[in-house]
Chains A and B, each alone.
Chain A
Amino acid sequence: MSDAELATFVEGTTRYFETIGHQPASVGSPYLVDNGKPTVHEFTGMINIAGKRRGVVYFTASRSMLTVLLMRMGETELTEENMADLVGEVANTISGNARRDYGTDFMISVPQVTTGHADQVVLPDGARSIVIPINWRSHAAHLVVCLE
């Protein structure tokens, strides 16, 4: 993945938190996943990518971050279902926004959401995974981009 391609996801992440959370997120230095075991928090939203590029993009966050983000959206129902909905929506939005640079042939699936199980997050064999650390208020989350 080129620096420009990586920048697409970093910009998408900062734009999401600035618009929805009313406060920009700080993005740490991206790094490669070298042991095949992805970073996973309590809630994970996964998007399968097909077309010109193939792979997975997932956003994973803690319950505490999603609770505060829901509150900043004005949501009053801070339920498990809405946290799962939100984590999928974040992954969907950041992946969808990437089409601005990747083009229409960057095809994204509807989100799949998992809660708390790292073994349910499966990355394609042979693909390099870039982990983008996200810090927003006092909370940490990760965006993982794994494209062949």
Chain B
Amino acid sequence: MSVVTTASTSKDISRRFTMMICDDSNIIRRKIERELNIDRLEVVASAANGRIAVETFTRQPVDVVTMDITMPEMDGIECVKKLVQIKPDVLILVISALSDKATAIEALKSGANGFLCKPFSDWQLTEALEELLRGAQ
């Protein structure tokens, strides 16, 4: 996972983050929200494809986004590029079944900060998001 880390302060550690979940599967969106075990992360929005995610993000630019890749209307890679244009410091964790290295590299080059492969367990999700947040501190 590619995350830039910097020295943290006590203020950073207590910082709270808002989050949007983007996945075309309702059960995956619900699984991510249910298994999220990080007190300082609050899910405030969800989207079923990249187009809806961009619209939602434009109205409500959250701090953290989990992003699927294979979705109708607008895929996750295109969506990541648009979200980063709107808010360059947004933290994006791509969560996808596409498990080849080239896809992970493309996601990171597009502006994502981490990549988690499906299927994932609750602790793998927590670990990936914790690492993402460490990069923001």
Contacts and interface: CB of A to CB of B under 8 A. Distances in A.
Nearest to B25: A89
Contact of B121 (A19, A86, A89, A104): A19
Given A96-B118, A110-B24, A110-B71, A73 B31 contact: yes
Nearest to B34: A74
A75 interface: yes
B99 A99 contact: yes
B70 interface: yes
Size class of the B contact interface (CB-based, 8 Å): 20 to 34
Interface string B30-54: 1100110000000000000000000
Interface in A72-112: 73-75, 77, 81-82, 85-86, 88-89, 92-97, 99-100, 102-104, 108-110
A109 B26 CA distance: 18
B70 A92 contact: yes
Contact of A89 (B28, B71, B100): B28
Contacts of B35: 74
B99 A88 contact: no
A88 B31 contact: no
Size class of the A contact interface (CB-based, 8 Å): 20 to 34
A72 B96 CA distance: 21
B102 interface: yes
Interface in A49-85: 70, 73-75, 77, 81-82, 85
A20 interface: yes
B119 interface: yes
A16 B121 CA distance: 10
Given A75-B31, A85-B25, A93 B103 contact: no
A106 to B, nearest CB: 8
Nearest to B31: A73
A109 B24 CA distance: 13
A110 B98 CA distance: 12
24 contacts: A15-B119, A16-B119, A19-B120, A73-B31, A74-B34, A74-B35, A75-B27, A82-B26, A86-B27, A89-B27, A92-B97, A93-B97, A93-B119, A95-B97, A96-B70, A97-B118, A99-B99, A100-B100, A103-B102, A104-B100, A104-B102, A110-B24, A110-B70, A110-B71
